Amino acid sequence: MRSDPRFSALSPSIWARPVLGICVALACASMATAQAQPGADQPGATPSLGEVEVRQLRDEGDYATRDVLPLSHDVIDTDAKGGEQGRTLGEALQDLPNVSVRDAPARLAVGAASSSFARDGNTGINIRGLGGNRVLMTVDGVRLPRSYVSRSAIFDREYLSLEQFKRIEVIRGPASALYGSDGMAGVVNFVTYDPLDFLLDESGKPTKTVGGRLATGWSEDDNGYSLAGTVAGRASDSVQWLLSANRRTSHAMQTMGRNDEPNANRTTANPQHDGDTAVLGKLVVQPSRLQRHVLTLERTERNSTVDLLSSRAPRPSKPGDVLNEDSRYEGTRERLSWDARYELGTAWADQLRTVVGVQHTDSRRVGTSDLFSGTHRVRDNFYGERAWQVGARAEKLLRHGDWTHRLTYGADYVRSNIRNLYDGLAPLPPEQFPFKRFPDTRETATALYLQDESVIGDWTLTPGLRLDHFAVDVTSQEGYFPPSKVPGKSLSGSAASPKLGVLYRATPAWSVYGQYAAGFRPPEAGQLNDQFEYLAPPSTRVIIQPNPDLKPEKSHGFEVGVRGRLENLSLDVAAFTNRYSNLIVDAEFVREVGNERQFQAVNIPRARIHGFEVKGRYDWGRVAGGRLVNTFAFGMARGTNSDSGKPINSIDPALLMVGLRYDTAQWGFSADVRHHAAKKAKDIDSEAIMAARAGTQFATPAATTLDVGLQWRPRKDVRLNVGVRNLTDRKYWLWPSVYGVAGNSPIRDAYTQAGRSAYVSLVMDF
């Protein structure tokens, strides 16, 4: 890719790699000290940190390890996997029923029209048929930035480094009552490591002065290399600290395509180089056993360069034919947060948790094209958020006769300043660079909520209510798509989100539950005021219109389920149905008038999604000197636009997973079989996906894959993992990755998943 001086401000920071080096150096020194002084860590020489550790508040994220609430939840303990966890968010979540992550190859042409099927990277989590910004994503309780799709650019939400998370908590289904509007489809909370996680001795007591981890790995399918280091320590009886850094470099994910031509007929991956860097620092202060304060500083960088060979015309002859095209992306996320927890023991609260967070996010994507006409075209897209949030949550336990009430109540305030800028060279009329797709906007959300977990005998009733007020305020019209036909519009409103859950423990091993939960989500700035217009060859005028009349989305969700916790069997079964009104569809093709094709964000008046899920684990006990365990999961869903009767395209085909784990003292073996059902034509609204283009949407066929892995533990603190993904070298597609690909497309193989590939990783604790 040619050099662009405008990227001087986007070059990777010069301090992230030294921090990783410091972590590695400290880790090596700590391991050497531990070997030289085996008796340095004496229990009698250290205070009992466990006595002063404050118990975490039991919100729905904390409940994820217990079976006390009537909802579907999952906990992915990445630390327990010992380095086996996925490199990407998609791999980490791939075995959860009705959960997927869109992962598509980088083939989006520079200057391509904005669309719902624009493709580039992991563009969002889908839970039970809905994804994007309808899934609330948080890190340590601080909300991640939203995704944004603009013409020729997608800004996703994966500002994450999985090596820094000890646990991923997933709530499947509406969670607006406690989490607010962005939790309409579900919640994914990422929990970072705490210093105490690395200061535990073999007996599980926090007696170490210094501890940490080193990890490195390689994967064949994207030729990716990773290095991560974490060091934690105890400065005094009441102060602990943690410093963690990791770096990963990779190339394009392989496909099963075989056409390597440097033009639009290409089905192999485009040349690509990616780099991800993350740094995490924590300071934990416990002035007494009644309070705990955590100050966290986090920075994540992502950068990618792609040589878009697939954009080149096979035989250039027209002025607009592409001779060369490339793209460069960089995104950064910085977070500073203060998480305080207090044991109060007062009449109004037993515990109190407060979270204050400040987060800055900047994303920029620049694409350059050389055309047959001699034109050098540049498209420079920027999207940024400046957000801060304040939250307070209290908990009080009350007892009245046979009744026990656990009240959870609190308040949230979130404010985000959102900016975008579209710049470049050689604009298409009537473009006038630079301009903004939507005006500078401030989004605010204020909420009060209350939940009562009431227990009497074998029954648990959990009513809850959240009151939200939102505002989308235009702060400046400057630069808003000149010449803007209408000024950007502000919007505000309020909503109440009630919930009611019932759980009955029929026996000590079995329980049944049911839940009703309401949700809502207001329009975003980019949906409300998105405005853009350009002339597409040869003479089509593409118009993206704002929609100031967009209404907030609303939902009503019902779920029933059964849980079994037997000696050898753990089983969860759930059925759900969610009814939606005014679902917002981005950049929907609305009409064609003469040579004009008009797109606009619109409301779907009514929609319904229903489905079924089962997951479980069976422990066979000791077999041939080791422990044998089976895991299984199945999920399926159907969705319908109730007004048109047509299917909702964001629903994934059914997925069945069966896993096997066998562990001895030194060895571990795993095998995972996944069967992806076919996407049937009757479940696709091809017209909505393809808009006015020719062809019908490609329906993915069924496929079964097998992954195997082996872990060797020569010592308790050393784990070597090797494995093979897609062992049978099966050629297959995933539905979220082919959205917008025609069934008769000659380049369908460009969207296949990787074939057989190996991986290896080494993890060392100290």
pLDDT of residue 445: 95
Q: What 3-state class would DSSP assign to 196?
A: helix
Give phi and psi for 563, each to the nearest 5: -125, 135
Neighbours of 578 (CB within 10 A): 25
* pLDDT range class, residue 2, cuts 50, 70, 90: very low
* pLDDT range class, residue 586, cuts 50, 70, 90: confident
Q: Tell how strand 165-172 and strand 553-565 pair up.
A: unpaired
Cα distances (Å, whole numbers) of residue 416 to 144, 421, 428, 666: 11, 17, 32, 50
DSSP for 434-503, please give it.
SBBSS-EEEEEEEEEEEEEEEEETTEEEEEEEEEEEEEEEEEE-TTBSSS-SS----EEEEEEEEEEEEE
Torsion of CA 505, 506, 511, 516, to 10 degrees: -70
pLDDT of residue 439: 94
* pLDDT range class, residue 87, cuts 50, 70, 90: confident
Given a cut of 60, whether residue 114 has pLDDT beyond it is no
Q: What is the pLDDT of residues 312-322, one digit of tens each?
A: 999 999 988 99
Neighbours of 537 (CB within 10 A): 10
Q: What is the pLDDT of residues 377-404, one digit of tens each?
A: 999 999 999 999 999 999 999 999 899 9
Of the candidates 214, 222, 157, 217, the one whose C-alpha atom is nearest the C-alpha of residue 190 is 157
> Which CATH number is 307's domain given?
2.40.170.20
Given a cut of 70, whether residue 176 has pLDDT beyond it is yes
Q: What is the pLDDT of residues 693-739, one digit of tens each?
A: 667 899 999 999 999 999 999 998 999 999 999 999 999 999 988 98
Q: What is the pLDDT of residues 336-373, one digit of tens each?
A: 999 999 999 999 999 999 999 999 999 999 999 999 99
pLDDT averaged over the chain?
Answer: 87
Number of domains composing the chain = 1
pLDDT of residue 226: 95
Question: Which of these ranges, 67-81, 460-474, 489-503, has the smallest mean pLDDT?
Answer: 67-81
pLDDT of residue 177: 74
**Could you tell me which residues come within 8 angstroms of residue 82 by beta carbon, excluding any fewer than 6 positions away?**
668, 711, 713, 719, 721, 763
pLDDT of residue 28: 54
- Whole domain around residue 736: which residue ranges? 5-765
Stretch 174-194: mean pLDDT, rounded?
86
Question: Which of these ranges, 21-25, 354-358, 490-494, 601-605, has the smallest mean pLDDT?
Answer: 21-25
Residues in the chain: 766
Given a cut of 80, whether residue 742 has pLDDT beyond it is yes
pLDDT of residue 15: 46
Q: What 3-state class would DSSP assign to 603?
A: strand
Stretch 165-185: mean pLDDT, rounded?
85
Q: pTM of the prediction?
A: 0.88
* pLDDT range class, residue 51, cuts 50, 70, 90: very low
Given a cut of 70, whether residue 83 has pLDDT beyond it is no
pLDDT of residue 432: 84
User: Does 256 or 60 have the greater pLDDT score?
Assistant: 256
Stretch 550-575: mean pLDDT, rounded?
96
Given a cut of 90, whether residue 332 has pLDDT beyond it is yes
Q: Tell how strand 186-192 and strand 135-139 pair up.
A: parallel
Given a cut of 80, whether residue 158 has pLDDT beyond it is no
pLDDT of residue 484: 62
> 673 with 704: CB under 8 angstroms?
yes
Sign of CA dihedral 150, 151, 153, 154: positive
| 364 half-sphere exposure, CB direction, 13 A CA radius | 15
Given a cut of 50, whether residue 594 has pLDDT beyond it is yes
**Could you tell me which residues come within 8 angstroms of residue 63 by beta carbon, excluding any fewer than 6 positions away?**
69, 73
What the block records as the tokens of 380 is 């420079």
Name the DSSP class of 702.
P
**Could you tell me which residues come within 8 angstroms of residue 613 by beta carbon, excluding any fewer than 6 positions away?**
72, 97, 98, 172, 572, 573, 574, 575, 576, 633, 634, 635, 636
